[in-house]
Amino acid sequence: MTYNDKTVLGIETSGKVASCAVMRGGVLIGESGFVTALTHSQVILPLLERTLSDCALNLSDVDLFAVAAGPGSYTGLRIGIAAVKGICALGKPCIGVSTLEALAYSASAARGLIIPALSARKDVAYYGGYLSDGEKIEPYAEDRVGDESGIKALADGFSGEIILTGDAADRLKETLFKDDSRVRTAPANIRQQSAAGVCMAALNRPGDVTDSEHLGARYLQNTMAEKLKDRGDAR
C-alpha cells in the first residue's frame, strides 16, 4: 500500500464547525459536519462514530488519523487533538495539519494564490499563502497572525489570480480588494473549515506523520493564560 492509498480519517474542530471525514485511496468516501452551538467535546466523538458507520468502517480500518492542529480556537483545537491522541494511544499513526493549509486544499481546484484567512480579533487575522496548480498546493507565505494590512501586502506582491477563503474572506474582499478584479472569494460552500480539507492536507505531508505522544497544537499566538502570565496578571 502506498501512502496515498491509505484510509485517512480527518477531524476538524478549530472553529464553529465540527467535522469528520474519511478518504480512501485519495477519494472522499464520507463526511459529516455542522455548525454547532454545543462544545466540540459533546459532538465530535458521536460524529466520528456515525461517519465511520455510514462508511461501513471500524476504527481498526483507519490507517491514519488527521486533525486540524491550528491556528484556531484554543479550546476547539485541544478537543480535536485530545480525541486523536486518545484514539491513537495504542499505536495508530496520526498527523496534525495546518488549519489554513486544509482550508487552501478545499479551494485547490482554483489556480493561483490561495489566501486562507480566519478572524482572530478586530482587524487581526490568521492567514497564509498557498500556490495552487488546480490540483495540488505548495506553501507561498508561512502561516501567521497579524494585522489584516499584511494580507494586502501579500496580495500586492503577487501578480496572478488570488482566491480568498475562510471566515474573513468576504470582509477582506470588501475592505481591501473591492476594486481589484484579480481577487475573488471562494464559494461559500468551501469557505469554512472542513475535515475533508484536513484529509487532503494530510495526504500531501507524509513526512509529518507522528505518534500520539508528539501530536500537538500550533496556535501561532499565546493562549490567554500565557498572555495573563506575560502581563503579570496570572494568579
Based on the fold, state whether residues 118 and 172 are members of the same structural domain. yes
Based on the fold, state whether residues 18 and 80 are members of the same structural domain. yes
Give the model's pLDDT for residue 232.
55
Assess contact for 18 and 43: CB atoms under 8 A.
yes
Based on the fold, state whether residues 131 and 161 are members of the same structural domain. yes
Based on the fold, state whether residues 201 and 178 are members of the same structural domain. no
Give the model's pLDDT for residue 3.
83
Based on the fold, state whether residues 9 and 114 are members of the same structural domain. no
Element (H, E) at 54: helix 40-54
Based on the fold, state whether residues 197 and 186 are members of the same structural domain. no
Based on the fold, state whether residues 96 and 200 are members of the same structural domain. yes
Based on the fold, state whether residues 150 and 218 are members of the same structural domain. no
Backbone Cα Rg of the chain: 18
Please state, in angstroms and rounded to a whole number, the distance separating the CA atoms of residues 35 and 16. Answer: 5
Based on the fold, state whether residues 11 and 23 are members of the same structural domain. yes
Exposure pattern of 142-181 as b/e (b: 16+ CB <10 Å)? Answer: ebbbbebeebbebbeebeeebbbbbbbbeebbeebbeeee
CATH of the domain at 130: 3.30.420.200
Exposure pattern of 60-71 as b/e (b: 16+ CB <10 Å)? Answer: eebebbbbbbbb
Give the model's pLDDT for residue 233.
53
Give the model's pLDDT for residue 2.
85
Based on the fold, state whether residues 138 and 89 are members of the same structural domain. no
Give the model's pLDDT for residue 222.
64
Q: What is the pLDDT tens value at each position of the chain, 235 positions in all?
A: 788 899 999 999 999 999 999 999 999 999 999 998 778 999 999 999 999 999 999 999 999 999 999 999 999 999 999 999 999 998 999 999 999 999 999 999 999 999 999 999 999 999 999 999 998 899 999 999 999 999 999 999 999 999 999 999 999 999 999 999 999 999 999 999 999 999 999 999 999 999 999 999 999 986 444 443 444 554 4
- Domain range for 159: 108-190
| DSSP H stretches of helix in 157-190 | 169-176
Look at the chain and report how many structural domains it folds into.
Answer: 2
- Cα separations (Å) of 6 from 28, 231, 234? 12, 47, 45
Based on the fold, state whether residues 121 and 10 are members of the same structural domain. no
Please state, in angstroms and rounded to a whole number, the distance separating the CA atoms of residues 199 and 191. Answer: 16
Based on the fold, state whether residues 47 and 113 are members of the same structural domain. no
Residue 81 three-state SS: helix
CATH of the domain at 64: 3.30.420.40
